[in-house]
Amino acid sequence: MNYTVILSIINYDCDYLFPLLKEDYLMHQTKCYAALSQNSPLIHHTISRREIGKKDVFVEIEFCGVCHTDYHYAKNDWGITKYPFVGGHEIIGVVKKLGVDVKKFNLGDRVAVGCFVNSCRACNSCHNNLEQYCANGLVKTYNDPTLDPGGYTFGGYSKSIVVDEHFVFSVPQNLDPAGAAPLLCAGITTFSPLNHWRVGQGMNVGIIGLGGLGHMAVKFASAMGANTTVFTTSEKKTIDGYRLGADNVVLSFDQSALRKKNGNFDFILDTVPIPHEVSKYMPLLKVDGTLCVVGSIGSTGELNTRPLIFGRRRIAGSLVGGMKETQKMLSFCGEKNITSDVEIIKIQTINEAYDRMRKNDVKYRFVIDMRKFSN
């Protein structure tokens, strides 16, 4: 529908047009919570979504996870945020409308949308099911340039979203939808490297950190059959580590306990979201072992190459997964009945949730119940 044409004739006495205008408005406008500047709290706002294209899926959002990345963007911590900013890239919802050429979904299906909503689909990465590493322009779920209304993407802190079917996932019916929401970021961020390095039976795997990412990593590594050890700075999280499936919990500030684990691990996944010293964990790897960083983006202190060289060890990084791998993760979660440990909140308390998240006061992921959205 052409808004310019409609708006140009509103002043005429054409009562028969107003029902059409109202219906069109409801289709394209959606309530949300947005940050209008880096210094302002998130407030009730309204955004526009694009018309449903031939291959688009219109999703009414039920639940949306809250990620540390949302907070960093809201506060412009990386200096790249466009305002108004609407966060949220851990989205669970129900299909309400479909484009005429959509084949994968039906009305009423429960579906998911993750960290990105488009890619070039032509580069080597896209052709190899690695859309997350698109060479020509991955479009993230929020704050990325788009031809949609507003000029850049808006995320899941909203009542609805329109997404090309290629970037929409099926959700196993047995999964709790609120607990499934963080799978679209925290889940796939940890599943992808564990899957890539073929973690499985007979392997010793270490998980550094037991937060939003780490608690999912423990669940996955354990479900994959690995002997799993958690490294944490918090004595209070020892019980949780075992509850989540860990075989061992080691306090990472205990140098003696760390030395006892030297040469023990095939694979270590580092999920800590703040700058920290990575090198001290390198001696824990076996020869040809790999330490993969998925938490902190940026400096991790000076790299000590000695344990790398004297052990042919590797340090690597990983982003989220591509479409095929993310669907594999969701299916795996359905088979193993894996969801995130969540605290469900209302959108009206998102600013308080941000404050608590900064203080690490959540076990282990906030999820917004968007069904209870109100002004």
* Distance between CA atoms of residues 285 and 263, nearest Å: 5
Q: How far, CA to CA in Å, does 359 sit from each of 35, 131, 211, 313, 356?
A: 20, 33, 12, 34, 5
> Is this model's pTM higher than 0.85 or not?
yes
Q: Which two tokens stand for residue 233?
A: 């700075």
Same domain, 301 and 195: yes
**Residue pair 164/55 in contact by the 8 Å Cβ criterion:** yes
* Distance between CA atoms of residues 295 and 139, nearest Å: 21
Same domain, 51 and 143: yes
Same domain, 346 and 243: no
Same domain, 263 and 144: no
Residue 305 lies in a domain: yes
Q: Domain limits at 66?
A: 30-185+322-329+340-372
Same domain, 45 and 84: yes
Same domain, 239 and 304: yes
Q: Cα 84 from chain centroid? A: 20
Residue 299, pLDDT score: 74
What CATH number did the domain enclosing 47 receive? 3.90.180.10
Residue 37 lies in a domain: yes
What is the domain count for the chain?
2
Closest by alpha carbon to 118, among 160, 161, 79? 161
- Dihedral (C-alpha) 210, 211, 217, 219: value to the nearest 10 degrees? 80
Task: Please give the chain's pLDDT, 375 residues, in tens.
Answer: 333 333 333 333 333 333 333 334 345 799 999 999 999 999 999 999 999 999 999 999 999 999 999 999 999 999 999 999 999 999 999 999 999 999 999 999 999 999 999 999 999 999 999 999 999 989 999 999 999 999 999 999 999 999 999 999 999 999 999 999 999 999 999 999 999 999 999 999 999 999 999 999 999 999 999 999 999 999 999 999 999 999 999 999 999 999 999 999 999 999 998 888 888 899 999 999 999 999 877 777 777 888 889 999 999 999 999 999 999 999 999 999 999 999 999 999 999 999 999 998 999 999 999 998 865
Same domain, 223 and 277: yes
4's enclosing H/E stretch is helix 3-8
**Residue pair 175/333 in contact by the 8 Å Cβ criterion:** yes
Q: How far, CA to CA in Å, does 76 sit from each of 34, 85, 169, 199?
A: 13, 10, 29, 36
List of residues 6+ apart from 327 with CB closer than 8 A: 169, 170
Same domain, 111 and 71: yes
Residue whose structure tokens are 């009206």: 348
**Residue pair 217/189 in contact by the 8 Å Cβ criterion:** no
**Residue pair 295/271 in contact by the 8 Å Cβ criterion:** yes
Report which DSSP code applies to 16.
T
Same domain, 66 and 174: yes
**Residue pair 93/104 in contact by the 8 Å Cβ criterion:** no
Residue 277, pLDDT score: 84
- Count the alpha carbons within 13 Å of 274 in the hemisphere toward its beta carbon: 6
Residue 93 lies in a domain: yes
Residue 284 lies in a domain: yes
Same domain, 238 and 264: yes
Residue 154 lies in a domain: yes
Residue 14 lies in a domain: no
How many helices (H) and strands (E) the chain has is answered by 12, 17
Residue 374, pLDDT score: 67
Residue 5 lies in a domain: no
List of residues 6+ apart from 26 with CB closer than 8 A: none
What CATH number did the domain enclosing 284 receive? 3.40.50.720
Same domain, 208 and 96: no
Same domain, 271 and 299: yes
Residue 23, pLDDT score: 39
Residue 175 lies in a domain: yes
* Distance between CA atoms of residues 186 and 196, nearest Å: 16
Residue 27, pLDDT score: 52
